[in-house]
Structure 1
Amino acid sequence: MTSERQSFRFGLADLRAAQKPARGTPAYSRHVNRPLGRIVAAWCNSHGMRPNQATAISATLSASAITLLATVRPTWWLGLLIAFLLAAGYVMDSVDGQLARLRGGGSLAGEWLDHTVDCFKTLTLHLAVAVSWFRFADLPHDAWLLVPLGFTVVAAAMFFGLMLIPTLRPAAISAPTEPAPPEGPLRRFLILPTDYGFQCWAFALLGWTVGFRVLWTVTFVGCAALLALALRKWWRELRALDAGVA
């Protein structure tokens, strides 16, 4: 790896050889977002873009989509525009990390910036859905507003858990000495509701009020169920580590 500009072809080859493990990654992120991110990162690197610049572009695209969602009455074209902006922002979210790998590793400040932008994006997206439903949707009952509000809580808890658990593990366990068991072929699809990329493209249905409301509700229920399973797994894992330390 080098901090100097690389040609697109060599940058893409380096990225293909330095990918994070795919295990545990939902289908859209694994098969669509990361491959697209590699291509865009190789191109950006060949033009001298830095990781924090990619993060800024990602934040701008996402913030534009979320602002439109909260302030403009839903139509079919608006839904497609929001879905595209969110998905493009997600690609650039992958690009910043891949640019860092091409340049030999990222910085602590860059990692903090990336995660902070992700946190704002994840929470404000669901709150913007609540605002849109309150302002523009002809809801059969106000209780429907609990869906995006509940989704905000679930997203916050999942984000916090995913950030915290890795910081608790290294002090108690070392790197595994045996390979992990094979991943089930359907797992990447079963956890698709938690895939941010999948959630981005759900907004393509925004102009179809009932269809989007049903899809968003089903996605919320799926994420809540997967969060419950994750919380149980994390609790049992940490209890086992506590027992081992004791």
Structure 2
Amino acid sequence: MTVTAAPRPRETVADTVRRLGTAQKGAQGAPAYSRFVNRSLGRLVAALAFHAGWTPNAVTAVSAAWTATGLAVLALAPPGWGTGLLASVCLAVGYALDSADGQLARLRGGGSPAGEWLDHMVDAAKTSTLHLAVLVGLYRSEVVDRGPWLLVPLGYCVVAAVLFFGTVLNEALRERHGAVTRAQPTAGRPSVLRSLLVVPTDYGLLCWVFVLLGAPAVFLGAYCLFFAATAVYLALACVKWFAEIGRLVR
């Protein structure tokens, strides 16, 4: 008599989420919202996409569509509480999907160079376009003086683009010189305090600042605070990065 082994139970979405939780990339330096909120949302979305048979590139494309919708709302819709909430939700959903594509790639056994290229290109586009959308929205609405306030999103656009480029460049140079390999599952627990201190540089939290568009003065105050904090962070980071990259070749 032949004994047939019992079939292996099908993995549930909850099982997949738990499996992803044990294979996260390092959280060192990640701001609090991105680390504790967005990454968790990304795990859930990645698990759902995995069971639905989606590819990482499809998730990236949907992420880009949500983000583009949020940017269009910021640029074209009159400022108000409804506009701000809609823009924030679209941008936050896009950000969660952005976290999910890489996690989905790990579930499927690893990503492709083309997928990584697409992900970085979408990130680069939204990094600058977000602040250009704010600029267009402020100009069209006439709710603020068209002089000095319009310089803020222009400056923010430059700072955000340089910060994104510097982060990607650092990773590429370190990998080229064998200093750092691709992000590995988290070993140990990175500082929670540091994650909280760099919150003003967090793109995910910035997405929700637009909820304040119904009160333009409050929104501009918060937006300027985020801009100033990010600019200071970039200045300090550049000093640190230059020293670190200088030590790669000895």
Please, what TM-score do these two structures have when normalized by structure 1? Answer: 0.91
CA RMSD, Structure 1 to Structure 2 (Å): 1.9
Candidates 195, 208, 211, aligned match of 2:202: 195
> 1:17: which partner in 2?
22
TM alignment of 1:97-112, pairs within 5 A: 97-112=102-117
Contact 1:6 1:46 in 2 (8 A): no
Per the TM alignment, residue 66 of structure 1 is displaced from its structure 2 partner at its CA by 0.3
Quick check: 79-88 or 137-146, which moved more? 137-146
Per the TM alignment, residue 185 of structure 1 is displaced from its structure 2 partner at its CA by 3.8
- Structure 1 residues not aligned, in runs of 5+: none
Contact 1:62 1:86 in 2 (8 A): yes
Quick check: 48-57 or 9-18, which moved more? 9-18
Candidates 226, 229, 235, aligned match of 2:236: 229
Runs of 4+ in 1 over 6 A off after TM superposition: none
Per the TM alignment, residue 218 of structure 1 is displaced from its structure 2 partner at its CA by 0.6
Does 2:135 correspond to 1:130? yes
Candidates 92, 98, 103, aligned match of 1:93: 98
Question: Could you tell me which amino acid in structure 1 is paired with residue 93 of structure 2?
Answer: A
Per the TM alignment, residue 150 of structure 1 is displaced from its structure 2 partner at its CA by 0.1
Question: Could you tell me which amino acid in structure 2 is paired with residue 26 of structure 1?
Answer: P
Quick check: 98-107 or 233-242, which moved more? 233-242
Percent identity, please. Answer: 49
- Structure 2 residues not aligned, in runs of 5+: 1-9, 182-186
Quick check: 9-18 or 207-216, which moved more? 9-18
CA distance in 1 between counterparts of 2:175 and 2:53 reads: 35
Candidates 62, 67, 72, aligned match of 2:72: 67
Please, what TM-score do these two structures have when normalized by structure 2? Answer: 0.89
CA distance in 2 between counterparts of 1:40 and 1:175 reads: 28
Contact 1:137 1:209 in 2 (8 A): no
Candidates 220, 223, 228, aligned match of 1:216: 223
CA distance in 2 between counterparts of 1:175 and 1:161 reads: 15
Per the TM alignment, residue 157 of structure 1 is displaced from its structure 2 partner at its CA by 0.3
Contact 2:179 2:248 in 1 (8 A): no
Does 2:153 correspond to 1:148? yes
CA distance in 2 between counterparts of 1:227 and 1:96 reads: 27
> 2:214: which partner in 1?
207
